[in-house]
Structure 1
């Protein structure tokens, strides 16, 4: 037994050093040479700073709405709700979001509401919505801001991020950037 314990303790000590100290320091060093010294992309708008990669709450009718957040957009507590699709509380939350969306977007059929406008992402901090989620909100925003829908459609097209290498992932739109561009029209 002694002959197994000492090597196991040594391997554990080396693994702790490698993965708890050396590896995080290596990643920190690499990030330091990245954009904004590894702090992420920061967007300054009207004297405030926003992180591009963290979801923001937009619920005003004159803006494109964000994806709901299970953590109230708090980056300190990233995470999903952990409620399954048969959970009655979760289903009630989804139904309340659908009802709210239909009230604020009259004339939209319930089946036209993209899932990302009524469900939170796994992190609860997704800064993106789908192109469909942006398009379904155009009529409301055009009516309130008195813009032509074609102007908003061009804005959506301009801010659509293509899949990685044209292959991986869906097209998506950063809601913060889209709403800032909307305010600047």
Structure 2
């Protein structure tokens, strides 16, 4: 016998079983075969929800342990030149626009505060011979946080594609923020 309630429950369970877990995507400056490159990484740690004060859920993903924290002021229109990352580190853009390029490679990344403003720099001198170039564009200063990874660890990840992650790859975050995602 057909039951609309039973049908709705079964449909909901099937839909929930097909939902892919939401994981953070970040731009990374990495090295492949001894040369620096820019990649879009999907981190292995999933976003998880937490209820705070009986209100709507907030979502967070563990990015790993950190060793230190530096607040860095960069003057307007500054070109840092070609360099390697001193150690594996997170770089979080708080203000300004950055352009990351790689010599002898066509991958680039524009970085600005917000969902695309997190970069993992992993092209250390022990694994790359050429490094990357960081330029801070515009007529105002840039402010970044430099956060070395604890024990120089690289977070577990999957490479999604060459080049930096773009805003459209962060759409799952917008769904969470708007409360329309099926994440729980």
Would the TM-score normalized by the shorter structure come out above 0.5? no
Of structures 1 and 2, the one scoring higher in RCO (CA 8 A, sep 6+) is 2
Q: TM-score range by the shorter chain?
A: under 0.3
User: Which has more strand, going by share of residues?
Assistant: 2
- TM-score, structure 2 as length reference: 0.23
- TM-score, structure 1 as length reference: 0.23
Structure whose CA Rg is larger? 1
